[in-house]
Amino acid sequence: MKITPIIGLEVHVELKTQSKMFCGCSADHFHVEANTHTCPVCLGLPGALPVPNKTACEWCVKLGLALGCSINEQSFFERKNYFYPDLAKGYQITQLQKPFAINGKLTIDDHEIRINRAHMEEDTGKSVHVDGSTLLDFNRSGVPLVEIVSEPDIQSAKEAKKYLNKLQQIIRYIGISDADIEKGSMRCEPTVNVCIDDQFYTPLVEIKNVASLTGVMNAIDFEINRQVKQFEEDRQQKNSSNKTTRGWDADKNQTFLQREKEGSADYRYFPEPDIPPIIFSKEKIEEIQKNLPKLPGVKISEYKMLGLSDYDANLLAEDKDFSEIFDKIISLDNSNEFAKFSANLLLGPLKIIEIEIEKINPEYFKKLFDKKSELSSTVIKQLILDSYQSGLDPLEIAQKQNLFQISDTGALEKLAKEVIETNPKAVEDYHKNPLAIGFLVGRLMKVSRGSANPQSGKEILEKLLK
């Protein structure tokens, strides 16, 4: 039996604007006393009028552009009607026919995942279940939300994870949300079905309540297996676009039936009469496009052109601040050799500690690079760490601790003579067995406090002992 999973992802991202989507209330709702960030608009009181948040709309367009979408120059909001206790108005203001952004894509390992749309909407309040009763907190009601809908182009749980990671990275790069799945500022609903033997399609299932990346992967894998088994039993196939909603139980590691879903017509969508259409001029869209930061994909290819490995390039581009400091460092010297040298230090000794980016001084990388022939690689690693921790110039530290390698033969010879004079027993041993030179090299390293080049030290000792 040939099984081809068909997976689409609906992702909701809460924007970190100061105020809410349609009122002036603070959009901050984490760790805030319940119902303190509310007003007649976000409580849905009769007669209250929504005023769209300009920054939120621009950020939605910004994300659309970062995802390669086309931007609708004219879009409008619509009401999506449904009843739920945490939705005080009885409808959500969202976009259906004319979203801000359409037809984008994200490429995962050379596989293109089409993005249907990125539209603007508002979050709902929160139901809090306490001792058998349900309390409502409207602090989250009206927080700006962008919904990013992919086409069902994803073919495995692993690819879904990569897609989410990449989306999350782009969102963080452009600074519109912290996109934290565990915290709930990024929420993801996979839609899954399976094509069997290239001819049968199992019924569509949308999975809700997935609260972690691992959860997303486990839920998708569980659902693929469940649907294949179900099909073997009842041979039931997908009809029209009807979806069943199943919840994810992370403890039992399985999905469970929630409801047979209504089609979208049941939401009785209609244009929001209280908000005029939103216009983004060509000039405005171009301006937003121009102000987009360099995105991770572009950075990765630039780093690879500097001769860095795929692995290193990805690590460096992973975090925006981290890659920015790397960019600053390599702006001091445009050789590939310097890029490699700096990447090794950033991803080696510095990456393993919890670094504060602001404490990194790009100049120190350049200084060490210029003196690298006089310092051993172990010493360089230690110096970058010490200078990061103390803020001191690494070359000054090297000077003070005598860490420069003695390449000057005269100075080395003087030390070597001293070692030979003070270790007559070892010299005797050496004449019986040349391997005993190791001990003398060790002494030489010690008296030079590590700054002798071991290879040239050995050669000089051998020369003198002849």
DSSP structure class, residue 331: T
Q: How far is the CB of 245 from Zn ion (least distance, A)?
A: 30
Q: How far is the CB of 146 from Zn ion (least distance, A)?
A: 19
Q: How far is the CB of 51 from Zn ion (least distance, A)?
A: 11
CB 457 within 8 A of CB 425: no
Q: How far is the CB of 189 from Mn ion (least distance, A)?
A: 9
Q: Please, which residue, 54 or 351, has the CB nearer to Zn ion?
A: 54
What's the rounded Cα separation, in Å, for the pair 353 and 412? 36
Largest CA distance in the chain: 103
78 touches Mn ion (CB under 5 A): no
223 touches Mn ion (CB under 5 A): no
Nearest to Mn ion by Cβ — which residue?
147
Span 133-152, contacts to Mn ion by CB under 5 A: 147
Computed over its alpha carbons, how large is the radius of gyration of the chain?
31
DSSP structure class, residue 31: T
42 touches Zn ion (CB under 5 A): yes
Q: How far is the CB of 19 from Zn ion (least distance, A)?
A: 8
What's the rounded Cα separation, in Å, for the pair 374 and 399? 11
Q: What angle do CA 180, 101, 30 make, to 5 degrees?
A: 25
Among the listed residues 39, 17, 27, the one whose alpha carbon sits nearest the alpha carbon of residue 88: 39
312 binds, among Zn ion, Mn ion, none (CB under 5 to 8 A by kind): none
CB 92 within 8 A of CB 79: yes
Span 147-176, contacts to Mn ion by CB under 5 A: 147
CB 408 within 8 A of CB 416: no
Count of residues in the chain: 466
Phi, psi of 55 (to 5 degrees): -60, -45
147 binds, among Mn ion, Zn ion, none (CB under 5 to 8 A by kind): Mn ion
Q: Please, which residue, 92 or 116, has the CB nearer to Zn ion?
A: 92
56 touches Zn ion (CB under 5 A): no
Helix (H) or strand (E) holding 165: helix 157-173
Q: Please, which residue, 124 or 405, has the CB nearer to Mn ion?
A: 124
Q: How far is the CB of 38 from Zn ion (least distance, A)?
A: 5
Within 237-350, residue ranges assigned H as helices are: 282-290, 296-305, 310-318, 320-330, 336-345
Q: Please, which residue, 143 or 444, has the CB nearer to Zn ion?
A: 143
Q: Which of 3, 4, 28, 39 binds Zn ion (CB under 5 A)?
A: 39
Q: How far is the CB of 122 from Zn ion (least distance, A)?
A: 10
Span 6-35, contacts to Zn ion by CB under 5 A: 23, 25
25 binds, among Mn ion, Zn ion, none (CB under 5 to 8 A by kind): Zn ion
205 binds, among Zn ion, Mn ion, none (CB under 5 to 8 A by kind): none
CB 171 within 8 A of CB 63: yes
Q: Please, which residue, 25 or 278, has the CB nearer to Zn ion?
A: 25
The contact set with Zn ion (CB under 5 A) reads 23, 25, 39, 41-42
The contact set with Mn ion (CB under 5 A) reads 147
